[in-house]
Amino acid sequence: GETNAQGKNPVTLDHLSVRGNNIRYYILPDSLNLETLLVEETPRVKPKKPAAGRPLGRGRGRGRGRGRGRGR
């Protein structure tokens, strides 16, 4: 479809959804194998030391911003 933006050249794209002045989402082509990309990204998140036995941030900073700006 053709999308016209004020003061800009018309952009012609196959899959583009525009609402207001913001581009909300793209309809990605099926040729893009998202599964493969997502699977490749996963191993990087794994190497994390177990939080068990680490009293870091146990009772500190956990409930921050609780009594601030509430009750408005």
Average per-residue pLDDT in the chain?
Answer: 62
Q: Tell how strand 17-19 and strand 11-12 pair up.
A: unpaired
Give the domain range for residue 12: 1-32
Does residue 19 contact residue 26 with C-beta atoms inside 8 Å? no
Query: Which pLDDT value is given to residue 61?
Result: 59
Confidence (pTM): 0.14
Identify whether 10 is part of a domain.
yes
Domains identified in the chain, total number: 1
pLDDT tens digit sequence for 5-18:
555 666 666 666 55
Identify whether 45 is part of a domain.
no
Identify whether 64 is part of a domain.
no
Structure tokens at 30: 């099926």
Query: Which pLDDT value is given to residue 12?
Result: 63
